[in-house]
Amino acid sequence: QVQLVQSGAEVKKPGASVKISCKASGYSFTIYYMHWVRQAPGQGLEWMGIINPIGGSTSYAQKFQGRVTMTRDTSTSTVYMELDSLRSEDTAVYYCARGVVPAAACDYWGQGTLVTVSS
C-alpha cells in the first residue's frame, strides 16, 4: 500500500536549519510529484512547494524562496525539505503529499513532522 513516512519531530533554535525526510513506498516513486505543505498550530494549510522526482526540478512559493530547498534521492525513494534561517513563525507541522502530475490534487499524505522553533 502507498505510504509516505516522514522523519520525527524536531526542536530548533532561531536561525538554525531543519531538514525533514519523506520516504515513499508502495508505488513507483518517479511517477508522482511531491508537495510540501505546512500548518502552524491552530492555523490553516500553507503550500510551500513541489518537486519533480525525475529531474529534481522544483517550484517554491514566493514566501519561502531563498530559504527552502527540496531535493530527492531516487535510490531510496525519499524526498527532503530543508528550511533555513528558522524563526518562531516556522513552528508548524510539515507534510509531504504526492500528486500524479503537477496540476493534481494530493491523494496521499505523510503523517506530518512537527518542527518547533524556540530559543
Kindly tell me which of 10 and 46 has the beta carbon lying closer to other proteins. 46
118 makes contact with other proteins (CB under 8 A): no
Min CB(39)–other proteins separation in Å: 8
25 makes contact with other proteins (CB under 8 A): no
For 45-60, b/e burial (b = at least 16 CB within 10 A) is eeebbbbbbeeeebeb
For residue 92, give the DSSP letter.
E
Q: Which stretch binds other proteins (CB under 8 A): 8-16, 67-75, 77-85, 99-107?
A: 99-107
Q: Where in 38-67 is the site for other proteins (CB under 8 A)?
A: 44-47, 49-50, 59, 61-63
Q: Which stretch binds other proteins (CB under 8 A): 11-19, 69-77, 82-90, 107-115?
A: 107-115
**In angstroms, what CA-CA distances link 102 with 24, 36, 50, 83, 89?**
17, 13, 8, 22, 28
Q: Which three cell numbers stand for residue 30?
A: 518517479
